[in-house]
Structure 1
Amino acid sequence: MRENAAMPDATRPWVTLADDSAIALGPLDGRYRGDVSPLVDHLSEAALNRARLHVEVEWVIHLCAAGAIPGAPTLSDAEVTYLRDVVATFGPAQIAELAAIEAETRHDVKAVEYFLKRRLGRAADALGDGTSLPAASELVHIFCTSEDVNNLSYALTIRSAVHEVWLPAATALADAVADLARAEAATPMLARTHGQPATPVTLGKELAVLAHRLRRQLARIESDETLGKINGATGTYGAHAISVPDTDWQEVGRTFVEGLGLTWNPLTTQIESHDWQAELYADVARFNRVLHNLATDVWTYISLGYFAQRLSAQGSTGSSTMPHKVNPIRFENAEANLEVSNALLDNLSATLVTSRLQRDLTDSSSQRTIGVAFGHSLLAIANVTRGLAGLDVDAAAMARHLDANWEVLGEAVQSAMRAAGIAGATGMADPYERLKELTRGRRVDGAGMRAFIADLGLPSDVEQRLLALTPASYTGYAERLVAHLD
């Protein structure tokens, strides 16, 4: 027993990894960092703190410029530049300093306030003893509850992440789908409804449907409002009004919020109600779901042989044991990441719109997952983009499936019979039933379909049109419908 006890534990024969800060817990900061790293400059903790610092700086500048508080200094251009440089130079050393302050305050927004006050206290080193900034220290965070700073900071970072990172990537993907749709507008393809052969389409038209759906959601996302407020502890301007009663604090707040490029929300509790966030996340989730539909459809077309995958575009190894395989891993990866993204986006949309009475802190924790939600969506977009770029259309495979399913012309024939009967032709009774008897559960080849058509007694022009028809040419307006993308 003693000998066995000295042996290594067979269930854990490794050293601990927890103390290595370079090892990521989640895949977005590990395996997939390269695909999502642009979001770090917007939706990371550091980016949020930089935005908080930006809001605090601009609040000081705004109060001084508006003359909102008697005795507040008129800032010189050099002093304004100094304040804004505090934000512009916020980098690794400043992030570490802020973290050290927060370790003492145990409050993230208060730590930002103290960080900025330190900079005002040191302003004379850069601007000379005549600067008014050290004396203006109490303007920092005046009349602000933490949520005044937080709601504006989240608004700024979410808006920039969406418009500078996520939307360009999503738009480029939608454009790539549209380009492929245009290129394949005339390529006939057997449709499948309920998984069964159905009226033919073109590959381009089907891709155009998806591109159009994606673009509709992008248009909604691009026009979504981003709201903000700065009205105090319970949304009443109570501290403002009692301290400086002669200032129109609603106007000061409105112009400040709008000066940040946001839409002013005049009616809130302590928090900005987050309805705009819920609306945005619902729209992004809907885009994700359309993209998920695209990924599953393209995956299916690959399995049918309609798309061939170029090995160099998908990766060097298809299967660890079956060397012949090229797996559609880009589209499968996208499916999974879209599902994770939507789980978070749906949760945010559902929960952020509720806050107990005038304030609770559930939103504080929830909003820390915003970057993760967008990260998984961005990763999916990157995978689908790369996946599409690695596909070649196999029109011959589609042609073989079309030629093997002449029964899909049953719809065309029975519809032409109905129209001819309405126009006065005789012998056109029971067209649906007659075609059902010919085609349901049966395979009909070209010769059999043409023989059936020739025996119907159709008007000559109708008969000739139907005899010339093939599954590959029975695509209606499909090719021209792709032009709606333009």
Structure 2
Amino acid sequence: MDDALEVKNIEKVTNHDVKAVEYFLKKKCQSHPEIAKVLEFFHFACTSEDINNLAHALMLKEAMNGVVFPVMDKLIKAICKLAEDNASTPMLSRTHGQPASPTTLGKEMAVFAARLSEQRHEISQVKIKGKFAGAVGNYNAHFSAYPSVNWPLIAKEFVESLGLCFNPYVTQIEPHDYMARLFHAIIVFNTILIDFDRDIWGYVSLAYFKQTTKAGEIGSSTMPHKVNPIDFENSEGNLGKANGNLSHLGEKLPVSRWQRDLTDSTVLRNMGEGLGHSLLAYKSALQGIAKLQVNETRLSEDLNQSWEVLAEPIQTVMRRYSVPEPYEKLKELTRGRAVTKDSIKEFIEGLELPKEAKDYLLELTPHTYVGAAIELSKTLDNAISLVNGVTTL
């Protein structure tokens, strides 16, 4: 802490952060006999951005690999468990907010797990880059002092020794394109999670999920009965804040006038904000998932009240056997009308279909008409790929 304060005191005079660090290091090393002989090789042929771009790259790499990815992975695994545990739990789908062909709760969770896993993989493929090529990216100063040295090779070896990917084509700055790719990829991950948060919020509202309560917790200052889905709301709010920050970073950072302007400098100081709000969101979602309890009774009630969803398989089987106007006949039976188990049964029995086809339709219920949903839930592992860390070389 004392060293950091000393650097800040030097910076008050220099009004230049990197130069302040240089002066601090020189002062520190004056008493070291070997280093004292080469003090002027501190910051030799460098521009400040040679230092800063590598520091930012290393911070991003450590933040992603050490902090962000582990929580992303924990979140994906938690959603995978929801999918696996509820692979066979039938649920009424809703398109446009209206009853649609049944699915299983597990399959709908599997969709989110697969989407998040795929996007997490995309994030991991972004190469974290660095440069060390001087004031305008040409090694001008380097060659003026040592013209016979292969400076591009030395720079490449040095940058790669830090575990970063070397970028040979730069100006005064590393162009930040990789940062834009990284932040936009995180935005997509976050947007998928917003979709998840909102869907879970909706399922809680429909009472498809109950939420475990904690002794002493209060849901409303005036309504004692309230158990609100606050974790998913907090997650959604933080994701929106994160995406706003990351979006500006992704749009701003690749743009710098000519060989460099300073507009990126102040913006780069805010990388932590977008990642921080993302992290808060992931942890809030995890906290919410841990409180969820499936309400199978409520799920079953909705299915029992939605026999009209069997209009789809009936008209499809009718098409198979060339029954004329199948869609129109089912539309007349079901649209805007109360449809019951008995009315569906009566309609099927009146169809001119082979016995096996008719028997199949008569055995169908909203609980069993789930297509491949169960199998999709149970084979989710095939779609999940949690690779380690971001690409460096």
Q: Could you give the per-residue CA deviations for residues 154-176 of structure 1, whole angstroms, max 9, x where no partner exists? A: 00001110111001001110110
**TM-score of the two chains, using structure 1 as the length reference:** 0.77
After TM superposition, the structure 1 = structure 2 runs for residues 77-226 of structure 1, keeping only pairs within 5 Å, are: 92-123=1-32, 131-226=33-128
1:303 match: 205
After TM superposition, the structure 1 = structure 2 runs for residues 461-476 of structure 1, keeping only pairs within 5 Å, are: 461-476=356-371
Structure 1 position 94, deviation (Å): 2.2
1:227 match: 129
Distance 2:337 2:30 in 1: 87
Task: Give percent identity, aligned residues only.
Answer: 47
Structure 1 position 103, deviation (Å): 1.8
Matched position secondary structure for 1:291: helix
Q: Could you give the per-residue CA deviations for residues 398-450 of structure 1, whole angstroms, max 9, x where no partner exists? A: 000000000000001000111122xxxxxx11000000000111120111111
2:390 match: none
Aligned residue identity for 2:7: L
Query: Aligned pair 1:477/2:379, yes or no?
Result: no
2:350 match: 455
Larger RCO, structure (CA 8 Å, separation 6 or more): 2
Query: Aligned pair 1:389/2:277, yes or no?
Result: no
1:9 match: none
Distance 1:439 1:103 in 2: 77
Structure 1 position 311, deviation (Å): 1.3
2:279 match: 378
2:385 match: none
Query: Aligned pair 1:274/2:176, yes or no?
Result: yes
Matched position secondary structure for 2:259: coil
Structure 1 position 106, deviation (Å): 1.1
Aligned residue identity for 1:299: W
Is the 1:241–1:249 Cα contact (8 Å) retained in structure 2? yes
Aligned residue identity for 2:225: H
2:384 match: none
Matched position secondary structure for 2:270: helix
Q: Could you give the per-residue CA deviations for residues 35-81 of structure 1, whole angstroms, max 9, x where no partner exists? A: xxxxxxxxxxxxxxxxxxxxxxxxxxxxxxxxxxxxxxxxxxxxxxx
Distance 1:167 1:214 in 2: 12
Distance 2:260 2:240 in 1: 31
2:270 match: 369
Distance 1:105 1:167 in 2: 38
Structure 1 position 208, deviation (Å): 0.3
Q: Could you give the per-residue CA deviations for residues 70-118 of structure 1, whole angstroms, max 9, x where no partner exists? A: xxxxxxxxxxxxxxxxxxxxxx222222222222221111111122212
Aligned residue identity for 2:76: A
Distance 1:273 1:393 in 2: 49
Q: Could you give the per-residue CA deviations for residues 235-255 of structure 1, whole angstroms, max 9, x where no partner exists? A: 010000011111100011000
Query: Aligned pair 1:408/2:303, yes or no?
Result: no
Is the 1:275–1:352 Cα contact (8 Å) retained in structure 2? yes
Matched position secondary structure for 1:239: helix
| Structure 2: segments with no counterpart, 5+ residues | 382-393
Aligned structure 1 segments of 4 or more residues deviating by more than 4 angstroms: none
Q: Could you give the per-residue CA deviations for residues 326-350 of structure 1, whole angstroms, max 9, x where no partner exists? A: 0111111111110010001111111
Query: Aligned pair 1:339/2:230, yes or no?
Result: no
**TM-score of the two chains, using structure 2 as the length reference:** 0.95
Distance 1:473 1:347 in 2: 48
Matched position secondary structure for 1:190: strand
Structure 1 position 293, deviation (Å): 0.4
2:336 match: 441
Distance 2:94 2:150 in 1: 65
Aligned residue identity for 1:233: A
Match of 1:241 among 139, 143, 147: 143
Matched position secondary structure for 1:392: strand
Is the 1:163–1:222 Cα contact (8 Å) retained in structure 2? no
Aligned residue identity for 1:291: L
Distance 1:197 1:122 in 2: 79
Aligned residue identity for 2:50: D
- For the pair shown, which has the larger CA radius of gyration, 1 or 2? 1
Matched position secondary structure for 1:133: helix
Distance 1:122 1:182 in 2: 64
Structure 1 position 457, deviation (Å): 1.9
Distance 2:52 2:129 in 1: 12
1:329 match: 230
Q: Tell me the C-alpha RMSD between the 2 structures.
A: 1.1
Is the 1:274–1:352 Cα contact (8 Å) retained in structure 2? yes
Distance 2:378 2:150 in 1: 54
